Amino acid sequence: MDCLEIKGGTPLHGEVEISGAKNAVLPIMAATLLTTEPCVIRRAPRLADVHTMAAILRSLGSRVDFKNRTLTIQAARISPHADYDLVRKMRGSICVLGPLLARLGQAKVSVPGGCVIGTRPIDLHLKGMEGLGARMRNTAGYVHASAKRLIGNDVFLGGRAGPTVLGTANVLMAATLAKGITVIESAACEPEVVDLATFLNSMGARISGAGSPTITVQGVRKLHGAEHSIIPDRIEAATYAIAGVATRGKVTLKGARADHLKAVFDKLRAMGVTIEQSRGRITCRHPRKFKPVDVTTQPHPGFPTDVQAQMMALLTLVPDISIITERIFEARWSHAAELARLGANIAIEGPSAIVKGGSPLSGAPLMASDLRASAALVIGGLVAKGTTRINRIYHLDRGYERMDEKLRKLGAKVKRVPQT
């Protein structure tokens, strides 16, 4: 197992190419289960989670080929049983439930694992399938679902912390083969849901309203193969933008979409960051002096919870008080204690973190606990004086393609070394 060794204090400069979105490619891979015909998915990032989903699809019977960031998947003959040993590795694997149920009339899927960032129940997934007429049981760690044919219906997916992204994806995929019309109310509006709907429509689905709180699906009898290119990863783009300005550098994001980053860019501009767009590139430049801001995570188009940790790392540099309020995942604060080991002054009070910035950071050994917390620790290490070693970076490999290589191209002094 490797760790990441960072010698901090070097400003990042240059251009970084943004990979395809992890949170878009995983449900799109699951959607290939809806047809017997081959599907081609381009701009697929080489991530641990993508390889895990590929292994799950193979275990179900799909043929999966992954070369040069292009996935070719054909689910000609598949099984309805998604095994625990693979599904437990990531939460996104629950997305096979809807396609298996819609196509085969049955599914047995292990309750998934993933990052430990708070309670993330799958009750809305089950509610959505029941709304389409499925019989659902949750026993012995597995979800059992069955239906002769799903029937279109009005499905409400609002939850305690707002809409469910994966739940929306699951119901959306299931509804494509349901009889009649399905209307999903309080649907997630994230760009990844729109990307999934675009792929499904290219397969022959009839979906309208994706990207809004109301999605309408006219069910069809059969879907066919399709080709698709994955949208750029807005969370990766935000991470590199924040890393660049945190190190008092200037980083250009190649291929990122500004319309997917409005809430993040709004806060960065409020802090004094200069952001310029030109010919498919977005350049972020640090200000002379950062200004404090308050941040509240919200469902899209609000500030994404997946950028909360990275923003906290940046706010530790601002010589004033900033408050971050987490409204999506109540326990998403593991990075705060690790940033404190670098010298950050952060107090957690209920759903909020009070960041008293301006204290100098110094390198220390750190322990990553989840994907986005890992990214925050990397940013802290890039800024801190001295050497920082981040253990358990397999979390990073789940969601950031070749992060150490990309950082080195920007001038960072970072390398993988064996964990001791």
Query: Considering its fold, how many domains does the chain have in total?
Result: 2
Q: Domain boundary at 181, 198, 229, which? A: 229
Q: Domain boundary at 200, 229, 258, which? A: 229
Kindly give the residue spans of alpha helices, DSSP state H, lying in 286-370: 308-315, 334-341
For residue 113, the enclosing domain spans 22-229
Residues 233 and 187: their CA atoms lie apart, in Å, by: 21
Look up the CATH number of the domain holding residue 274.
3.65.10.10
Asked if 50 and 145 sit in the same domain, the reply is yes
Q: What is the tens place of the pLDDT at every residue in 231-264?
A: 999 999 999 999 999 999 999 999 999 999 999 9
Q: Report the pLDDT averaged over residues 43-50.
A: 96
Pairing of strands 181-185, 135-139: unpaired
Q: Report the pLDDT averaged over residues 162-187.
A: 96
Tokens 């990275």 belong to which residue? 310
Asked if 139 and 33 sit in the same domain, the reply is yes
Residues 390 and 313: their CA atoms lie apart, in Å, by: 15
Asked if 224 and 236 sit in the same domain, the reply is no
Q: Domain boundary at 207, 229, 251, which? A: 229
Residues 139 and 330: their CA atoms lie apart, in Å, by: 26
The mean pLDDT of the chain is 95
Asked if 101 and 177 sit in the same domain, the reply is yes
Rounded to the nearest 10 degrees, what angle do helices 262-270 and 234-246 cross at?
A: 10
Q: What is the tens place of the pLDDT at every residue in 80-100?
A: 999 888 888 888 899 999 999
Residues 104 and 297: their CA atoms lie apart, in Å, by: 38
Asked if 346 and 385 sit in the same domain, the reply is yes
In this structure, are residues 407 and 413 in contact, taking their beta carbons and an 8 Å threshold?
no
Task: Single out the residue of 300, 30, 28 nearest to residue 163, CA to CA.
Answer: 300
3-state secondary structure of 258: helix
Catalytic residue list contains 3: no
Asked if 330 and 380 sit in the same domain, the reply is yes
Asked if 150 and 292 sit in the same domain, the reply is no
Choose, from 3, 39, 95, 115, the residue flagged as catalytic. 115
Asked if 271 and 395 sit in the same domain, the reply is yes
Kindly give the residue spans of alpha helices, DSSP state H, lying in 247-292: 262-270
